[in-house]
Structure 1
Amino acid sequence: MESVKSNITPRATTWRLSISESKQFDNPTLYRSIVGALQYATITRPDLAYSVNRVCQFMGNPLDQHWIVVKRILRYLQGTLSFGIHLKVVVSVSSLLITLTGLCDADWATDPDDRKSVSGACLFVGPNLVTWWSKKQQTVSRSSTEAEYISLALAA
């Protein structure tokens, strides 16, 4: 992977991963090993949370198209080795003023197999990112607005 061309995004937005659109990957143990390592990378790389979440859903039966996405994530990592979380010291006038900011979003009916939405959120204390997540919602939303409200409730 040292001599490969890097990507500027971890996943193409047009890809729809499914459980049945290509043939089975010939080395599922390799797939599970690499995806497991990518899960550890999300500890300090929130930009990977969504993409790694998507490929983790196919650990039981990985297909060739899932492996292509994993390789793209690895090429993205190869080109962004210096990325990470940067914490800033906050010097405020009053030590009692601490701002908590939460950002959330939902991708309505992302999964073509079960039509469930994917939610994600980032929480900041002052200017510093302290937690983030991306996960599939437990219910099927009937509209994008409903998916957004579920995401907001999960973030709250």
Structure 2
Amino acid sequence: MGNAKGMPKPMLSNSKLSKFDYVQLSDPTYFRSIMGALQYVTLIRPEMSFSINKVCQFLAQPLEDHWKAVKRIMRYLSGTLHHGLLIQPAPVHQPLSLIGFFDADWAADPDDRMSTSGACVYLGPNLMSWWSKKQPLVARSTSEVEYKSLA
């Protein structure tokens, strides 16, 4: 994949990965080793957290659609090798602020109707922490899933 065409996004916004595709991979060990390596990418590339988290949910039984999603992630990475985190000094004339942004979808997983939430926290102009994870319980409303994301 060294000379593959880069992709503009790591995952399509309307992508619905499911465990009920029935086209199994011939070598799931290779899929798992690549996903293990890609998890390290989330340490320095916050925009990758959601897509890598989403595909990692299928490590037990990876299917052909999951492999296509991994290839798209790797094509995105090959086209954005120059991207990374930028750490800037805070302006001297402004007080240091701590700002957090949280978001969640509601029952977007087609298999179990669980929600995925994510957050990013800035200290001054710098991104300090981020995460994306699947919530452990099914939410009954959008406000409940947003509240769980914030908690």
Give the percent of matched residue pairs that are identical in Structure 1 and Structure 2: 50
State the number of aligned residues. 151
Q: Point out where structure 2 has 5 or more consecutive residues left out of the alignment.
A: none
2:28 touches 2:61 (CA, 8 Å); kept in 1?
Answer: yes
The answer for the alignment partner of 1:57 in structure 2 is: 57
Separation (CA, whole Å) in 2 of partners of 1:108 and 1:11? 18
The answer for the alignment partner of 2:37 in structure 1 is: 37
The within-5 A match list for 1:61-100 is 61-93=61-93, 97-100=95-98
Separation (CA, whole Å) in 2 of partners of 1:93 and 1:69? 45
Separation (CA, whole Å) in 1 of partners of 2:22 and 2:5? 25
Separation (CA, whole Å) in 2 of partners of 1:132 and 1:19? 27
Render the CA deviation track for 1:95-115: whole Å, top value 9, x for unaligned.
xx3200000100111211111
**TM-score, normalization: structure 2?**
0.96
Q: CA RMSD in A?
A: 1.1
1:22 touches 1:65 (CA, 8 Å); kept in 2?
Answer: no
How far did 1:93 drift? 3.1
How far did 1:127 drift? 0.5
Separation (CA, whole Å) in 2 of partners of 1:135 and 1:7? 24
Q: Are residues 1:130 and 2:128 paired?
A: yes
Render the CA deviation track for 1:51-90: whole Å, top value 9, x for unaligned.
0000111111100000000000000000000111000011
